Amino acid sequence: MAFFKVQGIVKFFGGLAAVNGVSFEVKEGEICGLIGPNGSGKTTIFNLINGYFPLTKGEIQFQDEKISGLKTHQICQRGVGRTFQVVKPLKRMTVLDNVIASAFLRHHPRSDAIKLAEETIEFCGLTHYKDKIAKSLPIASRKRLEITRALATQPKLILLDETAAGLNPHELEEAIALIKKIRDSGITIIIVEHIMKVIMTISDHIVAINHGMVIAKGSPTEVVSNPEVIKAYFGEDYRA
């Protein structure tokens, strides 16, 4: 039985098939990389898993339970957390309050929620910013806040949407270390990423997508040497 399974999902926006028959599976405890050129449908797949958009066709299963058709908050309650590519900090709240608000999901008395929030903030290395207002944070820390907030809901599966985009090399190293740390704590990860350095070093397996369809699946080395993938990224002329 698969931990997480996407089966033939289809999403039409009007006449445009943004996602067209994508299927893949993720095993518990692994990091699955989702790659593809701009506009290939990666974030749409996240929005479908997350329940932000309804599916046109297909089914998504999580721990042998159908989660497609549930509302976003219900999917989160089942244990699927997500971050947004375009970060959505709760701007006028402090970092701590941001995280407390999501820690309340599984920790009821306020003191428990605060404790979990503080632990999660420390885990993600944001202690320094704890009492800052979220909108005052630089972009690297905002991306980190997205992860922190998702982790505070104590997910079993976390969807990371381009958490490394726009970071400098030093911040990139830190982001990679954090993602590994999350995996080591037992959380399964699906990550959308453009930066090959990130995706190659951390993924256990990769799903490559173009025009809303899966073009390759397998280990990182297999996928990047796949001619279909190279064609999708660089065009016909550079075909190996």
Partner 1 sequence: MKRPSGPFLLLVLLLILPLILRDAYYQHLMILVLMWVAIGSGWNLISGYTGQVLFGAAAFFGFGAYTAALLSSKLGISAWWGLPLGGILSVAIAFPFGWICFRLRGPYFALATLALNEIFRHIATIWESLTDGMIGILVMQTFISKLPYYYVALAIAIFSIVTVDLVMRSRWGYYFVSIREDQDAAESMGIDTLHYKMLSLCISAFLIGIAGALYTNYMGFIDPKVVFSLHEISIMAILVGIVGGVGTIYGPLVGAFIMVAVQEIFRTGGFGILHFIGQSTGWPFMSGIIKYVSEAHVLSFGILVIVVILFLPNGIVGDWSLIRKSLVNSKKPAV
- The nearest distance, CB 150 to partner 1, in angstroms, is 8
Q: Does 128 bind partner 1 (CB under 8 A)?
A: no
Nearest alpha-carbon partner for 66 in 145, 7, 139, 132: 7
The size of the interface with partner 1 (CB under 8 A), counted in residues, is 29
Give the orientation angle of helix 139-152 with respect to helix 169-184, to 10 degrees. Answer: 10
Nearer to partner 1, 152 or 232 (CB): 152
Q: Hey, what are 216's tokens? A: 């390759």
The answer to whether 15 touches 207, Cβ cutoff 8 Å, is no
- Is 52 a binding residue for partner 1 by CB under 8 A? The answer is yes
Of the candidate residues 25, 30, 59, 97, the single one contacting partner 1 (CB under 8 A): 97
Choose which of 110, 128, 181, 197 interacts with partner 1 (CB under 8 A). 110
Q: Is 89 in the site for partner 1 (CB under 8 A)?
A: yes
The verdict on 77 binding partner 1 (CB under 8 A) reads yes
**Residue 70 vs 172, nearer CB to partner 1:** 70
In angstroms, rounded to a whole number, what is the distance separating the alpha carbons of residues 182 and 203? 13
Angle between helices 139-152 and 95-103 (to 10 degrees): 20
- Amino acid letter for position 177: A
Q: Report CA-CA distances (Å) from 173 to 168, 202, 234.
A: 9, 11, 26
Q: Where do contacts with partner 1 occur on this chain (CB under 8 A)?
A: 50, 52, 71-74, 76-77, 81-82, 84, 88-93, 97, 100-102, 104-105, 108, 110, 113, 149-150, 153
